[in-house]
Chain A
């Protein structure tokens, strides 16, 4: 799962080092876009949930499917009260089930729409990243292939989404647990001849 680390206030990029992907329990990752205060509140709800799950002390722990279901109920019920939590949430994880290691990836948004899919994106990612992912995702990708694919999407979003910034975080979740890598930046490419002198053929054009 990848995100940039920016949080804007209108058109001002107000906070430049914000973690938008967090681990939930032992088996899941949650990533959010939208209102940051609501995301912080959702993390508190998830803390309560995972804590009481742990206190059962029954050898069981909530997996990504269960967390996604819980979040869906929370989001949809708030929507029905006309007081939504203004977020798009991406929930991913791995848990050992009866059929072996079961991977899960899904999303839920502020109006309660939720689904499970092999590739998820929020905001501009729906328009720019999903087409790339639909073309190039396949089963049984390695970690390296997945990172390269996700970085391809992040770069396009950096070029074309006005609110994105060049500081990213990638997180992975496996049966061994969650790893959230430190923030890093990508190189951008500006070397097109047309970029250097766009008005050459037609003075005044752009």
Chain B
């Protein structure tokens, strides 16, 4: 979830490998008839669009966005080339044994928030004498997100199971709003999923249906969102505990205009088709 004009911490002329890490992301959380399933992609990227100080430079950049000389002007310029810092990150983080959170936005901000909330919930569990509820976990996330709204860029989906209310999903977007929902989507890739969810979401799916649906949604978003990619990770939380699944990039379904992967062109040619344009 990147915003358009954010100051980057790295200086002009530095390699695109350094700089603030953000998770242009796709995150999803759904309730099914026994619990919740959280899903996410695994791409962490660096490089942000920075404040444009010099209008002259701006014109150049808009005309030739990918020319290297723009780096050497000495003024802040629009972002050139996002580097994938981690292609297999785990954006679904545990808060307690029964509550997990999907993180999107600034990697640093969401890591720090999760760490604090995990710490608070640990103490809360000791004092309470039983597992924390999903609502409490979500509200602690909200507290940090709301009270520090001017400094944080963190969009989170909290999901879990407790014995009082069963499976629950809470959305905590950028301003610190908290909303309980039967399904939630977030991150930059979520733009591509609003229509899919409107069209295909049903309440009370089975665990298998819900898992397939989450993987489908995340992989469709990954197909179109440049800031999402890698593998799909899912975490299922229900009365029996937590199950984690891993869907590597090469095992995801193929969508429109995507082709079957091969080891080499030579294999295709050896396969006997004389026309290289045949698909």
Query: Taking beta carbons and an 8 Å cutoff, which residues of A are in contact with B?
Result: 7, 9, 12, 14-15, 18, 35-38, 40-41
Q: In the complex, given contacts A9-B174, A37-B149, what are 5 additional A-B residue pairs having Cβ atoms less than 8 angstroms apart?
A: A15-B181, A37-B175, A37-B176, A37-B178, A40-B177
* A7, A12, A18, A41: the one within 8 Å of B146 (CB): A41
- On chain A, the residues within 8 Å of B179 by CB distance are 15, 18
- On chain A, the residues within 8 Å of B86 by CB distance are none
- On whether the beta carbons of B173 and A9 are closer than 8 Å, the reply is yes
Instruction: Say how far A130's CB is from chain B's closest CB, in angstroms.
Output: 28
Expressed in whole angstroms, the Cα–Cα distance for A40 and B142 within the complex equals: 11
* B149, B175, B181, B194: the one within 8 Å of A36 (CB): B175
Instruction: Say how far B113's CB is from chain A's closest CB, in angstroms.
Output: 15
Is B191 part of the binding interface, using a Cβ–Cβ cutoff of 8 Å?
yes
* B175, B178, B194: the one within 8 Å of A35 (CB): B175
Minimum CB distance partner of B150 in chain A: A83
Instruction: Say how far A40's CB is from chain B's closest CB, in angstroms.
Output: 6
- On chain B, the residues within 8 Å of A15 by CB distance are 179, 181
22 contacts between A and B (CB under 8 A): A7-B177, A9-B173, A9-B174, A12-B191, A12-B194, A14-B173, A15-B179, A15-B181, A18-B179, A35-B175, A36-B175, A36-B177, A37-B146, A37-B149, A37-B175, A37-B176, A37-B177, A37-B178, A38-B175, A40-B177, A40-B178, A41-B146
Expressed in whole angstroms, the Cα–Cα distance for A41 and B145 within the complex equals: 12
Expressed in whole angstroms, the Cα–Cα distance for A36 and B175 within the complex equals: 8
The winner among A12, A18, A37, A38 for most chain B CB atoms within 10 A is: A37
Instruction: Say how far B216's CB is from chain A's closest CB, in angstroms.
Output: 21
- On chain B, the residues within 8 Å of A35 by CB distance are 175
Minimum CB distance partner of B175 in chain A: A37
- On chain B, the residues within 8 Å of A37 by CB distance are 146, 149, 175-178
B contacts with A, residue count (CB < 8 A): 12
Instruction: Say how far A167's CB is from chain B's closest CB, in angstroms.
Output: 14
Instruction: Say how far B28's CB is from chain A's closest CB, in angstroms.
Output: 14
Expressed in whole angstroms, the Cα–Cα distance for A37 and B274 within the complex equals: 62
| Majority-rule SS of A interface residues | mixed
Minimum CB distance partner of B147 in chain A: A41
- On chain A, the residues within 8 Å of B178 by CB distance are 37, 40
Expressed in whole angstroms, the Cα–Cα distance for A40 and B174 within the complex equals: 14
Minimum CB distance partner of A41 in chain B: B146
What are the 7 A-B residue pairs with the smallest beta carbon separation, nearest first? A37-B175, A37-B177, A37-B176, A36-B177, A37-B146, A35-B175, A15-B179
Minimum CB distance partner of B173 in chain A: A9
Minimum CB distance partner of A39 in chain B: B177
- On chain B, the residues within 8 Å of A41 by CB distance are 146
- On chain A, the residues within 8 Å of B149 by CB distance are 37
In B152-205, the 8 Å CB interface with A consists of: 173-179, 181, 191, 194
Expressed in whole angstroms, the Cα–Cα distance for A168 and B164 within the complex equals: 31
- On chain A, the residues within 8 Å of B173 by CB distance are 9, 14
Minimum CB distance partner of B174 in chain A: A9
The winner among B175, B177, B178, B181 for most chain A CB atoms within 10 A is: B177
Instruction: Say how far B154's CB is from chain A's closest CB, in angstroms.
Output: 13
Instruction: Say how far B191's CB is from chain A's closest CB, in angstroms.
Output: 7
Minimum CB distance partner of A36 in chain B: B177
Expressed in whole angstroms, the Cα–Cα distance for A116 and B190 within the complex equals: 42
Expressed in whole angstroms, the Cα–Cα distance for A36 and B142 within the complex equals: 13
Expressed in whole angstroms, the Cα–Cα distance for A11 and B146 within the complex equals: 22
Instruction: Say how far B155's CB is from chain A's closest CB, in angstroms.
Output: 10
- On chain B, the residues within 8 Å of A14 by CB distance are 173
Expressed in whole angstroms, the Cα–Cα distance for A35 and B174 within the complex equals: 11
Instruction: Say how far B46's CB is from chain A's closest CB, in angstroms.
Output: 24
Instruction: Say how far A26's CB is from chain B's closest CB, in angstroms.
Output: 26
Instruction: Say how far A34's CB is from chain B's closest CB, in angstroms.
Output: 11
- On chain B, the residues within 8 Å of A12 by CB distance are 191, 194
Minimum CB distance partner of A9 in chain B: B173
Expressed in whole angstroms, the Cα–Cα distance for A167 and B179 within the complex equals: 18
Minimum CB distance partner of B178 in chain A: A40
Instruction: Say how far B179's CB is from chain A's closest CB, in angstroms.
Output: 6
Expressed in whole angstroms, the Cα–Cα distance for A31 and B16 within the complex equals: 47
Instruction: Say how far A187's CB is from chain B's closest CB, in angstroms.
Output: 21
In B43-59, the 8 Å CB interface with A consists of: none
Instruction: Say how far A15's CB is from chain B's closest CB, in angstroms.
Output: 6
The winner among B174, B175, B178 for most chain A CB atoms within 10 A is: B175
